[in-house]
Amino acid sequence: MEPVPNDNGHQDYDIIRWFEEVAENASFVQTQTLRRIIELNFNTEYLKRWLGNIKIQDMESKDLESLYTTLVPLASHADLEPYIQRIADGDSSPILTQEPITKLSLSSGTTEGRQKYAPFTSHSAQTTLQIFRLSAAYRSRVYPIRPRRRILEFIYSSKQFKTKGGLTAATATTHYYASEEFKIKQKQTNSFTCSPKEVISGGDYKQATYCHLLLGLIYFDQVEFITSTFAYSLVHAFTTFEEIWKDICNDIKEGTLNPRITSSSMRNAVLELLLPNPSLASTIEKKCKELEAFQWFSVIPKLWPSGKYVYSIMTGTMLPYLKKLRHYSGDLPIVSADYGSTESWIGVNIDPSFPPENITFAVIPTFSYFEFMPLYRQNPGSTSAIDDFIEAEPVPLSQVTVGQEYEVVLTTFTGLYRYRLGDVVEVAGFYKGTPKLNFICRRKLILCINIDKNTEKDLQLVVERGSQLLRQTRAELVDFTSHADISDQPGHYIIYWEIKGEVDEGVLEQCCTEMDTSFVDYGYVTSRRTNSIGPLELCIVERGTFRKMLDLFVGGGASLSQFKAPRCTSNPTLLKILNVSTIKRFHSTAYE
Ligand code: AMP
């Protein structure tokens, strides 16, 4: 059931044909995938606990599937945490998987506010390689690239550390960049990253960004596309470029490396690739001066004219960065990357030419066993549930319906059984027999004071509406987050904005009121009318505040590659950073 890589130049065709086959038979493939996971891990403590000693070898796969979903309960990360903790502490008995786990991945933690461990095995690296090859094959149908050239990749490893039991813990992308599969991917997709491994794994994202940009410019005529895992890192890289381009030009001219690069391994690896190139430096300098005068519009195609597209995850919580990314990309196509998580890859974007707003992800039925828990929106006014959804029994992939929203539930080769991922997706259609998912949002409610219920997506829409008023100014919204403040009565929402450029206070007052009236949740509107929730507060924070938040996460083991700014926080350290950095406050005058 695995795609067979070969070296005869037909790899793209082969991997797409493989996917077409498994997608066509998705339901059957899923049943077989579950059987394999159970067979591999049947003697583990966790599965024995729920499945007992039944003789699986005598069972039909379909019967095993229904037995599994009847006997094994749905689990949240908190349910599995004690098991994962024992593994982290060095218990090497077969707890979740038969194969001993030697590496743990840290989820970025920026969505939940707390980093979580998930097992990382050779299967994790293999599926990463597989989805990257598959997605590269789909992209090259639309945007063919020249073979044996380069990719300008803004990728970053996190800090690695050892758990009490001696397991290596780092983000999933860090494990992947250190794996054999990462090297193989470069060969099999016939494209090579500009930066050596010492830059990627250097551990300091500021130094790494400088080197990625510098080497990207050295190899400018070989760069076929520009990419990062999440779009935030691309925006971060080019915003940084606006500040450091002169130093980079100087290094290109002299063949030197700026002293800000203090990591000796990074220095040595990069210096080996540099030679003085005054003519390239002066061409870049001339272009940068012109670009600076136009707020760096189209910087990517101007500096990398052979680039075919910009590629990154641009959906979900990355949507707010799209505007800036489009600004930097000019006419260059932007292509939305695939859907996955630290726990498992989920779906591939098979329509690379679609705009990020319309992207769906075709589920890859060999990667994990997927179930989908139907979610129904509450009736307006209902106050009973902990969040906005009523749940129904999970259904297998073959039984999902178009237009319905679901929470994704995973059973993985890495020892997660009926694990609730916490993502809300909508089935947008089918590709052959496999569903195409639209990513909606993280399930967790982020803003909730009493009967109000707002998700990350609700906040995103509200901020989008409020920030539209900035169009009449020369200012732009750089980033945002929020907090439900209940320290005083009545409680109220605070939205923090970092903006670039000058804006009249009157406009910001309007933005604040506009956001307050843009929350359409029935609970919020009712509470605002009765003043059981107070006027929304808009806090403008000084420039660089969100970078300080990034630094805090990176210091705690996150990586820039997987960073997602938390859209709501109650974390005291983050709130302190935000409140200390607040330079202006506005209160909504809606509902007065
Ligand atoms: P993490 O494992 O912590 O780095 O983040 C995984 C989470 O990022 C997923 O559960 C989703 O919420 C989000 N995510 C990953 N890929 C996408 C995508 N293509 N579109 C939208 N959100 C995504």
Residue-wise pLDDT tens digits, 474-498? 899 999 999 999 888 899 999 999 9
SS3 532: coil
Name the residue with tokens 């758990």. 163
Does any ligand 1 atom lie closer than 6 A to the CB of residue 439?
yes
pLDDT at 384: 45
Q: What is the mean pLDDT of residues 375-395?
A: 72
Supply the DSSP symbol for 73: P
Choice from 173, 313, 354, 406 to test ligand 1 binding pocket (greatest atom count within 8 A of CB): 313
Q: Which residue has better confidence, 445 or 577?
A: 577
Ligand 1 and 171: CB distance under 6 A: no
Residue type at position 586: F
34-45 b/e (C-beta count within 10 Å ≥ 16 → b): bbebbebbbebe
Query: Where would I find the H helices in 451-591?
Result: 456-468, 505-518, 522-529, 545-555, 572-581
Amino acid letter, 470:
L
pLDDT of residue 8: 35
**Helices H, strands E: what count in the chain?**
20, 24
Mean pLDDT of 453-469: 92
What is the spatial distance between Cα 224 and Cα 370, in angstroms, rounded to a whole number?
35
Tokens 């004071």: give the residue.
449
Q: Which of 183-187, 459-463, 485-489 has the highest mean pLDDT?
A: 459-463
Question: Which atom of ligand 1 has the smallest separation from the CA of 110?
Answer: 3
Higher per-residue pLDDT: 433 or 55: 433
Lowest-confidence pick of 172-186, 294-308, 525-539: 172-186
How far apart are alpha carbons 80 and 419 in whole angstroms?
Answer: 8
What mean pLDDT is predicted for residues 249-259? Answer: 98
Residue 109 pLDDT exceeds 80: no
pLDDT averaged over every residue in the chain: 92
423 lines ligand 1 (CB under 6 A): yes
Query: How high is the pLDDT of residue 112?
Result: 52
Q: Is 176 in the pocket of ligand 1 (CB under 6 A)?
A: no
Confirm or reject: Cβ of 562 under 6 Å from ligand 1. yes
Contact yes or no for 528/591 (Cβ under 8 A): yes
Encoded tokens for 419: 């694990």
- pLDDT, residue 6, reads 40
541: which DSSP letter?
Answer: E
- Pocket flag, ligand 1, residue 140 (CB < 6 Å): no
Specify the residue for token string 């606990």: 49
C-alpha of residue 479 to centroid of ligand 1, in Å: 18
Confirm if 501 and 587 have CB atoms less than 8 A apart. Answer: no
Phi, psi of 384 (to 5 degrees): -80, -40
pLDDT band at 7 (very low <50, low <70, confident <90, very high): very low
Of 385-389, 446-450, 458-462, 546-550, the range with the lowest mean pLDDT is 385-389
CA distance 132 to 151: 13
CA distance 38 to 137: 31
Q: What is the mean pLDDT of residues 28-37?
A: 98
User: Could you check whether the bond before residue 490 is cis, i.e. omega within 30 degrees of 0?
Assistant: yes
pLDDT at 161: 86
If pLDDT is split at 50, 70 and 90, which confidence band does 385 have? very low
Bridge partners of residue 374, in order along the sequence: 406
Tens digit of each residue's pLDDT (9 = 90 or more) over 206-244: 999 999 999 999 999 999 999 999 999 999 999 999 999
Q: Would you state the pLDDT for residue 451?
A: 80
Does residue 5 carry a pLDDT above 50? no
Rounded to 5°, angle at Cα 203 from 201 and 207: 100
Q: Is the pLDDT of residue 175 over 50?
A: yes
CA of 291 to the centre of ligand 1 (A): 33
- Residue 544 CA to ligand 1 centre (angstroms): 25
For a substitution probing ligand 1, which of 111, 358, 567 has the most ligand atoms within 8 Å of its CB? Answer: 111
138's CB contacts (< 8 A; 6+ apart) are 16, 348, 349, 350, 351, 352
What pLDDT was estimated at residue 553? 86
DSSP string, 286-320: HHHHHHHHTTTTTHHHHH-TT--EEEEE-SGGGGG
Residues present in the chain in total: 592
Confidence grade of residue 380 (pLDDT, cut at 50, 70, 90): low
Q: What is the pLDDT of residue 388?
A: 67
Residue with tokens 């808009």: 538
Alpha carbon distance 276, 266 (integer Å) = 18
- The closest alpha carbon to 283, from 310, 257, 245, belongs to 245
Comparing CA positions, the residue from 440, 444, 414, 446 lying closest to residue 571 is: 446
Contacts of 421 (CB under 8 A, 6+ apart): 341, 343, 407, 408, 409, 410
Question: CA 404 → CA 25, 242, 314, 359, 374, distances in Å?
Answer: 22, 44, 23, 17, 7
Helices (H), 100-149: 122-142
The residue contributing the CA closest to ligand 1 atom 5 is 341
What pLDDT score was predicted for residue 423? 93
102 C-alpha to ligand 1 centroid (Å): 24
pLDDT per position as a tens digit, 137-158 = 999 999 999 988 999 999 998 8
Which residue's alpha carbon is at the smallest distance from atom 6 of ligand 1? 341
Helices (H), 430-521: 456-468, 505-518
The radius of gyration of the chain from alpha carbons, rounded to an integer in Å, stands at 25
